[in-house]
């Protein structure tokens, strides 16, 4: 298979500002695809700081 490995934190060698965020997000309520990436020249490994409003789903009885 060709392409980047989704298990690599930084799929483009030499470009640390790009990362696959699935490998950096720890909140289980944030669902992320294998190849979803984030580009941030300051700190690409802290995507969660941009999630301002994320409420857990409530079960309706």
Write the secondary structure of the chain as one string of H (helix), E (strand) and C (coil).
CCCCCCCCCCCCCCCCCEEEHHHCCCCCCCCCCCCCEEECCCCCCCHHHHCCCCCCCCCCC
CA distance 25 to 54: 14
Residue 59 is assigned to a structural domain of this protein: no
Residue 14 is assigned to a structural domain of this protein: yes
Residue 56 is assigned to a structural domain of this protein: no
Q: What is the pLDDT of residues 2-31, one digit of tens each?
A: 889 999 999 999 999 999 999 999 988 888
Contact 5, 11 (CB under 8 A): yes
Residue 36 is assigned to a structural domain of this protein: yes
State pTM to two decimals.
Answer: 0.73
Query: How many structural domains does the chain have?
Result: 1
% of the chain exceeding 70 in pLDDT = 90
Residue 58 is assigned to a structural domain of this protein: no
């Amino acid at each position: 298979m060709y392409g980047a490995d989704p298990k690599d934190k930084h799929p483009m060698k030499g470009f640390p500002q790009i990362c696959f965020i699935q490998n950096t997000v720890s909140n289980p309520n944030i669902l992320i695809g294998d190849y979803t990436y984030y580009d941030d020249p300051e700190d690409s490994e802290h995507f969660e700081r941009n999630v301002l409003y994320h409420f857990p789903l409530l079960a309706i009885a």
